[in-house]
Structure 1
């Protein structure tokens, strides 16, 4: 939950105050605590259904807020944000294919996790590239390289999820919940 509360703080630091280093620090801290929290939960067998739902949702909210913030302050082109946001929007729509057939959502494609990691890694580097310090050029280049790679793989894995949903739509009939009494499995 603390990560969720960090989103408006991040946007405030980025847009309202132009506190690039504070926004950078917040992104790095939140990324590190997200990783540590997930690692500890798995090691201690403390995973939960709620955590499995909230964690990727909060990741998407961070992705969205960083993209919007970066477009507003002019450090990434708007079309990059549109591509990434559209990918998530399209994948959200594919969930209806599974729900209408009483099926759980598809398994995670680990290459998609790598793409999300690349994008989340790109953001602090891009910010560091827009701060005034001796390493800003290298940091920016590194960040934009992660952004390009992450965007390409993010779109590719999005296509794989859509392909899976289309295969499910062709293979499995729609469950008529009104007549059978069955309900779709919630994602």
Structure 2
């Protein structure tokens, strides 16, 4: 029964929230194509639809007790893919510099490397830090605000500086969160070593 598993993380695949997440992922290439073509109004519409499905699948997952491991993977993956798609599409047209694409992508490669280090020490991924969530939200919000000025030039005088301010702040927080993850990774993988050293010291004193 749903009540018996309230708060539990399931292993189901074909749940309503997961299907909505899959739909959101399927819209990523559509979003990218319209950006590359310079159709920013349609791009924003696709992004709004994707954002609404994001809110809806989160609500339904909690309401229907259908929080799953797959859903926990799909949600952040979709957010990152939309950020990458917006960055790549805008950079391909020379509307944002390529260095900011490199900065954002490099941070996720950095986290991937940390994940490999953790796995090699027998640990799973670290819990998502609140700062990382804020950074992702800032990027997810800032880039569409930049696109808003491209879609509707009349608001560009306001949306462009605001969008860039939020995006650059998000990039800074993105890396700040990455450094926190790195520090936490070092702390976690040192725990067994510290425990072994303490045990060795105790045995040595006993001898």
Q: Please report the TM-score for the alignment, with normalisation by the length of structure 1.
A: 0.86
**Count of aligned positions:** 172
Structure with the greater relative contact order (CA < 8 A, sep ≥ 6): 1 or 2?
1
Offset of residue 172 of structure 1 = 3.1
Gaps of 5+ in 1: 174-187
Q: Is 1:7 aligned to residue 7 of structure 2?
A: no
CA distance in 2, matches of 1:101, 1:71: 38
Counterparts of 1:1-187 in structure 2, within 5 Å, are 1-15=22-36, 17-172=37-192
Gaps of 5+ in 2: 1-21, 194-207
Runs of 4+ in structure 1 displaced over 4 angstroms?
A: none
Contact persistence 1:129–1:141 (CA under 8 A): no
Q: Which protein shows a greater Rg?
A: 2
| CA-atom RMSD in angstroms | 1.5
Offset of residue 135 of structure 1 = 1.4
Contact persistence 1:125–1:139 (CA under 8 A): yes
CA distance in 2, matches of 1:90, 1:96: 10
CA distance in 2, matches of 1:143, 1:29: 20
